[in-house]
Structure 1
Amino acid sequence: MFRRQGEMERREPVLSAPGGPAELRLSPDDRPTLPAHAMARERAGGGRARQGSGKGSGTASGKGSGGGATSGGSGGRRRRARRPGLLRRLFYWGIVLGIWGVIAVGVLIGYEASQLPPIQNLAIPDRPPTITIQGADGKPIAVRGEMGGASVPLRALPPYLPQAFVAIEDRRFYSHHGVDPLGLARAVMVNLTRGRVREGGSTLTQQLAKNLFLTQERTLSRKIQELILSIWLETKYSKNELLELYMNRVYFGAGAYGVEAAAQRYFGKSARQVTLSEAAMLAGLVKSPSALAPTRNLEGAQARAEVVLAAMVEAGFITPQMQQVALARPATLAKAQGADSTGYVADWVMDQLKTLVGPIDRDITVQTTIDPALQTVADRALRDTLAKNGKKFDVEQGAIVLMDTEGGVRALVGGRSYEESQFNRAITAKRQPGSSFKPFVYLTATERGLTPETVREDAPIQIKGWKPENFSKEYRGPVDLKTALSLSLNTVAVRLALEVGPDEVIKTAHRLGIMSKLEPNASIALGTSEVSLMEMASAYAPFANGGIAVTPHVIASVRDKAGKSLFTYAAPVSNLVVAPPHVAMMNRMMQATLLTGTARRADLPGWPAAGKTGTSQDYRDAWFIAYTGRFIAGVWMGNDDSSPTRKLGGSTLPVGVWSEVMKAAHKDIPPVALPGAGTYLPGQMPPGMAPGDVPEEPVVTGGPQPPTAPRPGLDNWLMDRLFGRS
């Protein structure tokens, strides 16, 4: 065949080789020229292919064997090549995302750290001040303030007390650096599996950081700040210092902050003296102090203490034998040292302190005018009376005020149980005083020239459709004022109020010490405007002391822990608000109330006394305010919702409570006469008086009445009819 010069000789494919099967594959020499890098790959691949080919050539069918091996090997190479690429991409993006995550966390931590004061300026804040409240005898009766007890060094505590906290709150406290990754991971798992937050994973250091520097809110921001501060605390303080701080700051319920306050509150002893079972109970309280406080949930606190003891055994702090001894003698509450009602006293003290001494930034001691013994008597008298007769008269609450003739409060009971209700019914509650308000009407009348012997008509009266009536619906006709007041005749009281003017009656009441707003209408004579028990007791004081106005007070002095005096009560300059002749007339009339009138069941042997009972509309409030030349006592009984009682009058239960308290107050004190009233004693009959015709305090009835018109109680008259007395 003709060829051009330089051209390669064309070769035709050989379809068969002599003595062998047909070979269709091209050799490398038959292929077009490739780039160098492709040639290198081809050589490497060709070597592997030739190895496969060699294996196939030994078979009967080299075509089928060799072709299959080559095809399969090529596809496998492609699949294997893709997998490493995917893993490389995942690894790459994982690193990228991780870096950005670290940056984001760093930024978040930096931001939260910027919201805190500079770390170099942080310091453990001073312990909140403690206010120790003492009775008149100088003995503590209550403690107030966020910190209830003094700080106690760790070395002064029995070793099992701090060990109990470590065992139940932070087992790895001495090995971590403020944050416990294992505890945190466990808390996360528990919370995820239970679907709600059950564990916090906080170390003791984190809890301390929260208590010292942060709020109690549960947010991510607060948690991050807590972690930052806990790490800072760990670098600045030793483990024992941190544990000591924690135990002296943590809340234990029932108003007790710090282990010393809690031990005193629950066990009546110092934290230095607690037993193992008591230590376990204290450590168990910090999980849920309000719910587990033994004063309200003793069984729950004891059950939690068992868990703490088991944790102490697991941690190796105590032996199983010690655990069994503690379980056999579980911690119990110590008997309260003072009356439950001292809480009302403490609250009243705290309400006045800031006004008297300004902001409290240090520990202080407040000495009060309270007589702890009389406080206990008053508390018991009210509790026992309500427990014995409360259901019978359908009455649930009461209050007592006992003060001396200078206004110093010697006992204050604001309700039947401070633990159940902190509402102070002696100070805060305002109720209708009923006929116990009548002395202000009679005083106004005597100051305008009337005397106890002045006669006024006891007869039906009608005022714009209102018809105040005596309970018996009987009228005595002409009666003197002394008889009218002692028998609490409503028609006479209303006539006097109209005669002198309701506005003048209100001025008299305010002059003597009533601070509440009073409505100037005819029913003011029957006590329809609401007042507090403390107001009524202080307004009666001028009758007992000769006409001097008093300021009711409970704080005698305040001093700091160094003994520096911050306040001392100084009686104001004597303010004569009732002239002595009028004091004498009022005492003669109100003494008759206890001798022959509505309060003749009052029992105070050897002492001249005077006062007035009162019962409001529908028997909602029962009052008795009475006094001697030494003390004034007021008693109120009723229901918080102003629901009617079952005909509880002022001369029934209140007179009994008054008698019990006043007998204790006057024990071993020589009797003194009432100013200008002579020396008639309860139970004696003054000249011209006879007990046979004395009804009890009458009730307003009949005709349309003003909405605020009271219904003073049946009192002794009703009791006589109910129980067949004559």
Structure 2
Amino acid sequence: MRDTAPRGWKANLWRWTKRVAIFGIALVLLGAIGLFTSVYFAAQSMPSFVALKQSQNAQTILVRARDGSEIVEIGPSYGQWLDADEIPQVMKDAMVSVEDHRFYSHFGVDPAGLARAVYNATREDRQVSATSTITQQLARNVFLNSNRTFGRKMREAVLAMALEWNFTKDEILELYLNKVYFGGGAYGIDSASRTFFSHSARELSLEEAAIIAGLVKAPSRYSPTADVDAAVGRANVVIGQMVRYGGLDPAVARQVDVEAVNLREVAGQNSIRYFTDWALPQLDLLLPNGTFEPIEVWTTIDVGMQRAATTAVQSNAPEGAQGAMVSLDRDGAILALVGGTDYVTSNYNRATDALRQPGSSFKLFVYLAALEAGYTPDDQVQDVPVTINGWSPRNSGGSYAGQIDVRTAFAYSKNSVAAQLGNEVGFSNVASMARRFGITTPISTYPSMVLGSSEVRLLDMTRAYSAVSAGGQSVEPYGILRVTTAEGEELYRHQTARSYRLVPDYVAAGITDLLQTAVATGTGRAAQIGRPVAGKTGTTNSSRDGYFVGFSSGITTGVWMGRDDNARVSGLQGGTAPARAFAAFMRYAVRDRPVEEFDTDLKLPDWQLEPDDELYYGEEGEYYYYIDEQGNLVEPGRTQRAPGDGFDVEGEGEGVTRDPLDPRGMDQPTNRPRPNVQRGGQGQGKPPQAASDDFLEQATGQDLPDDRPRQRRPADDVINEQRY
């Protein structure tokens, strides 16, 4: 009787195990049957090898400016079709080694490669990396688009197996090498060889084959006309893969000198290609169904502004340095985009791809976080030497001003103050603010991050400043307005992105106040254009990077200058060449727009009207504030203020003071709400204390002496102790 229950439990477990196993096997069989059926029908309906050779896998694209004028026509460039026996063996070996070294052993999909990618992703807690075989890439290039959806990947796998069903490995490799895109408009190895080396692919050397094979992963990044060092580095990776998988003799590999390859000099390009290189790849997402017919793309580019931006960058970039510029309209439309001083020399897009340190222009996020935490432009801060977690920031020039207001600290880019503010509000909160405003690159939370030590993209920084120009509303940059067929059928039209409030109105007004002062009297004076401008300079250590980002009349423009090798540029500062380029461009860009004054009126929220956040007037020790029974501020010896003596009786007016440190050099309304003062208060007698003796004794854990003064300390003294 004792063994009945265990035996019954084991029998039930065995029975359910068999059921689950049978159910799993049935599912696998059904899946296999379904997959086989899909591959079979795909193979039966697939075009012949001759038809695929004759098919065009790229389209002609006519790009138009925002006014409809034609700016460039981009189309495929095909060389001669090379049969399998005409393609140099080094080219085949290079491509197979670096793109799909199990090409000759799989059936279109590489189970071993996929299993390894899933295993690595699980161990490293990240997404599964790309595992497309050469056959899958061919299926995508010929039949599909580049959308990274699960459904598209499944169709790609089915079509890859159908290709393997219909064609031999040599035929698949021939199709692939004659159709794959290598950048610069070149489709196929013969076109790529002629584009980069000025000769037929039949004559490719080992070094040249390695360069071409390395382009497939990222044609723009590894293009030898964009970045020679990157192209050489990638080619050496290909050589290493050939030694490992392609049977290349290591002794031969050691003699390879990729840097000795002679590149063809490319002519006939212009700066508009920086924009099209960024915008046109987005068509894969904007046109999810894909199309191979000729299309026309209406863009946001203003031809005149693009020309002015190009001239401004070329005329102001220091000798030996590169420059980039992005200009956004108030809705995020890209009006001009320049990725370098000369597209012919280098098509690397420094406006959208380069990661460089923004210097003090990153302080935008420090002060946004501080304003959101309760600071105002008129608050007093201490510009003094400080050390935070062993880090001691130094002001430019090594001088310190002592007590100044927030506005002055920002205008003159005081590093000491930025460090203290960042430490107070929290470096993680500054990073969060940058992320909120559209910075997409990793952001450090070390103290030095407040000075712009994290690398960013110029497009992202320009977007962030554009959001400030929009009053704290989010801005989404875009470059394509609509897409049509050659016959006029509309395939896509831009829809205005939903806008989100990033910071309250008073924070946007406060930071605009600071940015305007930085240009009016601070480090950005070279960016003045005869109308209101708000902006910020940025300079990194040893003058490696110069930044200026600002806005006026609804247009936001960012400028970066520096060397690609990150070497020092003599005399480069954000307030020199970048600010001058900004001004040169913006004078043209806003010439037909009305002058717009900035809204810097601080309408503070109720939570900032607490007693500890009020201005302290008069000489030290002159006034001490108390709280009466109704919770209002009163002074010893006075029941209320007379109208017009600095406080408005109803708390609605604006006090006017003269600040000798005010960088604007004029009497300015403080725009600071004044406290409500209770009428008919306590008279001349001793004012009531803010808290009872019982409460104070309980809070402090000790008895209070009878003669302890019952008075409240000056509000600003409390604030200063908290901040410093």
The two structures have a TM-score, normalised by structure 1, of: 0.52
Contact preservation (8 Å) 2:86, 2:202: no
- Give, as a single letter, the amino acid of the residue that structure 1 aligns with 2:549: I
Matched, 1:510 2:440: no
Contact preservation (8 Å) 2:439, 2:460: yes
Question: What secondary structure does 2:528 align onto?
Answer: coil
**How far apart in 1 are the matches of 2:282 and 2:50?**
39
Contact preservation (8 Å) 2:549, 2:559: yes
- Give, as a single letter, the amino acid of the residue that structure 2 aligns with 1:371: D
Question: What secondary structure does 2:527 align onto?
Answer: coil
Matched, 1:456 2:387: no
Match of 2:460 among 520, 529, 535: 535
Q: What do residues 458-481 of structure 1 show as CA deviations (whole Å, max 9, x unaligned)?
A: 111012332111123221111110
Query: Do the aligned partners of residues 575 and 125 (structure 1) sit closer, same or farther apart at CA in structure 2, a change above 3 Å counting?
Result: same
Contact preservation (8 Å) 1:629, 1:675: no
Matched, 1:471 2:401: no
Match of 1:548 among 473, 476, 484: 473
Query: Do the aligned partners of residues 529 and 686 (structure 1) sit closer, same or farther apart at CA in structure 2, a change above 3 Å counting?
Result: same
Question: What secondary structure does 1:456 align onto?
Answer: strand
Query: Do the aligned partners of residues 689 and 221 (structure 1) sit closer, same or farther apart at CA in structure 2, a change above 3 Å counting?
Result: closer
CA offset at residue 498 of structure 1? 0.4
> Aligned residue for 2:304?
373
- Give, as a single letter, the amino acid of the residue that structure 2 aligns with 1:519: S
> Aligned residue for 1:142?
72
**How far apart in 1 are the matches of 2:314 and 2:468?**
29
Matched, 1:361 2:361: no
Match of 2:445 among 510, 520, 534: 520
Contact preservation (8 Å) 2:294, 2:485: yes
Matched, 1:342 2:212: no
**How far apart in 2 are the matches of 1:119 and 1:340?**
39
Query: Do the aligned partners of residues 686 and 419 (structure 1) sit closer, same or farther apart at CA in structure 2, a change above 3 Å counting?
Result: farther
Which one has a larger percent helix, Structure 1 or Structure 2?
Answer: 1
Question: What secondary structure does 1:141 align onto?
Answer: strand
**How far apart in 1 are the matches of 2:431 and 2:346?**
33
Contact preservation (8 Å) 1:130, 1:147: no
Query: Do the aligned partners of residues 143 and 475 (structure 1) sit closer, same or farther apart at CA in structure 2, a change above 3 Å counting?
Result: same
Question: What secondary structure does 2:519 align onto?
Answer: helix
Match of 1:133 among 53, 60, 63: 63
Matched, 1:217 2:81: no
**Unmatched segments (≥5 aa) in structure 2:** 1-45, 93-178, 192-197, 205-223, 225-266, 603-657, 666-724
Q: What do residues 260-289 of structure 1 show as CA deviations (whole Å, max 9, x unaligned)?
A: xx9xxxxxxxxxxxxxxxxxxxxxx99799
- Give, as a single letter, the amino acid of the residue that structure 2 aligns with 1:129: Q
Moved more, 344-353 or 494-503: 344-353
Query: Do the aligned partners of residues 669 and 218 (structure 1) sit closer, same or farther apart at CA in structure 2, a change above 3 Å counting?
Result: same
Q: What do residues 425-476 of structure 1 show as CA deviations (whole Å, max 9, x unaligned)?
A: 0000011111001011111111111100111111110123321111232211
Q: What do residues 629-656 of structure 1 show as CA deviations (whole Å, max 9, x unaligned)?
A: 3100000000111111113110000011
What is the percent sequence identity of the aligned residues? 35
Contact preservation (8 Å) 1:441, 1:493: yes
**How far apart in 1 are the matches of 2:304 and 2:203?**
31
Question: What secondary structure does 1:518 align onto?
Answer: coil
**How far apart in 2 are the matches of 1:413 and 1:638?**
14
> Aligned residue for 2:257?
none
Question: What secondary structure does 2:418 align onto?
Answer: helix
> Aligned residue for 2:349?
424
Match of 1:591 among 516, 532, 536: 516
> Aligned residue for 1:13?
none
Contact preservation (8 Å) 2:408, 2:661: no
CA offset at residue 574 of structure 1? 1.9
> Aligned residue for 1:580?
505
CA offset at residue 135 of structure 1? 1.1
> Aligned residue for 1:616?
540
Structure number, greater radius of gyration: 1
Contact preservation (8 Å) 1:407, 1:553: yes
Matched, 1:569 2:494: yes
Q: CA RMSD in A?
A: 3.9
**Unmatched segments (≥5 aa) in structure 1:** 1-115, 149-206, 223-248, 263-284, 297-334, 679-684, 693-726
CA offset at residue 564 of structure 1? 1.9
Number of equivalences: 412
Question: What secondary structure does 2:350 align onto?
Answer: coil
Match of 1:625 among 549, 566, 575: 549
Q: What do residues 165-195 of structure 1 show as CA deviations (whole Å, max 9, x unaligned)?
A: xxxxxxxxxxxxxxxxxxxxxxxxxxxxxxx
Q: What do residues 674-723 of structure 1 show as CA deviations (whole Å, max 9, x unaligned)?
A: 23369xxxxxx99974589xxxxxxxxxxxxxxxxxxxxxxxxxxxxxxx
The two structures have a TM-score, normalised by structure 2, of: 0.52
Contact preservation (8 Å) 1:585, 1:676: yes
CA offset at residue 501 of structure 1? 0.2
